[in-house]
Amino acid sequence: MNKLTKISLAALAGVALSAGSFASVANAAPDIPAGQTGVIDVHKIKGVPSDVTNDGTEQNVPGDPLEGIKFDVYQVEGVDVTTNDGAKIASALGNMQLSAAQVEAGKVSINGSDYTLKLVKSINTDAKGNARFESLPLGLYVVNEDLAGSTPVGVEKDAVSPAAPFAVALPFTNPADQASWLFEADVYPKNQVNSVVKAVTDAGVREGQEFTYTLTATPMLGDSNGDGKIDAADIGHFEFLDKLPTGVSFVSASASINGADATLTDDFTATDGADGVSVAFTQAGIEKIAKGGEVKVELKVKLDKINPDGLAKNTVTLFPNQYSKDQGKGIPSNEVVTKHGDIVIHKVDGAETTKNLAGAVFTVHMGKDAGCADYDKTAIATSEPTNDQGLTSIAGLQLSNWVNDAAADNTYCLVETKAPTGYQLLPKATPFQLTAAGTVTDLSAAPDGSKIQIENHKNLGLPLTGGAGIGLLSAAGVVALGGGLTVGLRNSRRNKKN
């Protein structure tokens, strides 16, 4: 492997200059001007491509800049990189995997000797993602990303995983000709800026039924351990942790990595614990994740009980690597909400609406149109008969205007299956939109968006053809017949006398 190739590979870890470049310091012929200083120009770009030539020269790197990321530059004391011994020490440091813990300890051990790290300057990246360290004495430096002291703009701090510390020598050999010095090093440490999105599929769900949460993340992979390559070791840990809302219980989990189904136990585990439902990927699963692509988890859950406010709110936390797990600072997702409420029906006399009607029974159906000209004939639920106040309810229905965590425009259809005594059964379904979340404990005080008044009309008055009419007619006939018989008998007696 030639020196320049080795530089490029090492740079994938965020190491600005590697052993090959350091080694060339002692062999370089041009003299270094007296009093010369150097510059380290850090360019912080979200999701730097892994094939960027990070050889200390300025590059045209696509991506969004990260503003507000703090970088600390430490000088390795006692090392003169313009000498053979200094070049040897620099080369060894360039091949080391540096850690934030080493930097925090204030020293590094190189070839069996300890060297003190002296903080020279700290700068936060500007709106262009740049942190420019100027007028640095020539020497060997360690650049460390201080995420704890950062104030990222446009991204949550917990969503950012810092790049590993890296070494820079000033000056370094110009890779364009390998025969001259460069005193300004442009470096492009790569961040992992991760995010997680949560979705819910809950259309029509009622108490006792199952629905689904979908968790999606596309990891931004980087060489976080500074070993010159991007692999499973840079991730170390990958976990979704979902604290389910009250009233919702875990049923099962499935997962996919870059569109391919992942296997439970082999690729991931699913555990329902005190902290929530944990879907953690095994080493085999992490190795698949390290190849890139989308990671998706589907949690099948059950709505055991609807909360009094009718809301089931939920987020998930993503731990995209070992760093986030060790810090206990995962990345929160967006919040999804499932909403339920009660329909309260008030049954009254159509001609006298202050008169409450008891005994009416209703079924509720999902409408296929806004007017309930057509609806699903399978009833969702059946009400109890209306009470003496004309009131009854159908509880635990999903709101008409909120489904799958998005605005909706659904309609419920109320079908009267039993009319109050002496009243006509309603021949058509009545449309209704439930828009008020929460349990209604006092039916007489139901909020708007939860209550509906339905009128019934009395049966039609029929002609006198009932039993009473027949009785009256029969009695009149008997009287008339009796009268006729009396007249007949009198006439018969008169005829006999004559």
Measured CA to CA, the distance from residue 449 to residue 438 in angstroms comes to: 11
Angle at 496 between CA 493 and CA 497, to 5 degrees: 90
The CATH number assigned to the domain with range 338-463+472-497 reads 2.60.40.10
CATH of domain 38-191: 2.60.40.10
Rounded Cα distance, 375 and 432, in Å: 12
DSSP states of 260-308: EEPPBTTTEEEEEETTEEEEEE-HHHHHHHTT-S-EEEEEEEEE----T
What residues does each domain of the chain span?
Answer: 38-191, 195-334, 338-463+472-497
What was the pLDDT predicted at 195?
Answer: 83
Cα(189)–Cα(41) distance, integer angstroms = 11
Does 338-463+472-497 match 195-334 at the fold level?
Answer: yes
Per-residue pLDDT of the chain (498 residues; tens, 9 = 90+): 333 323 332 332 333 443 334 434 444 457 788 889 999 999 988 765 555 667 888 888 777 889 999 999 999 999 998 888 998 899 889 888 788 888 989 999 998 899 999 999 999 999 999 999 999 999 999 999 998 899 999 887 777 777 889 999 999 888 888 888 899 999 988 766 678 999 999 999 999 999 999 999 988 777 667 666 778 888 899 999 999 999 999 999 999 999 999 999 999 999 999 999 999 999 999 999 998 889 999 999 999 999 999 999 999 999 998 888 988 888 899 999 999 999 999 999 999 999 999 999 999 999 999 999 999 999 999 999 999 999 999 999 999 999 999 999 999 999 999 999 999 999 999 999 999 999 999 999 999 999 999 999 998 766 655 554 444 444 444 444 444 444 444 544 444 444
DSSP 461: P
Give strand pairing partners of 288: none
Give me the pLDDT at residue 210, please: 98
The CA R_g of the chain, rounded to the nearest whole Å, is 41
Long-range contacts of 264-269 (CB under 8 A, 24+ apart): 268/297
Tell me, what's the pLDDT at 5? 29
pTM above 0.75, yes or no: no
User: Pairing between strand 260-261 and 248-257?
Assistant: antiparallel
DSSP string, 123-148: EE--TTSEEEEEEEESEEEEEEEEST
**Residue corresponding to tokens 């009243």:** 423
State the CATH architecture for 195-334: Sandwich (2.60)
**pLDDT for the residue 49:** 56
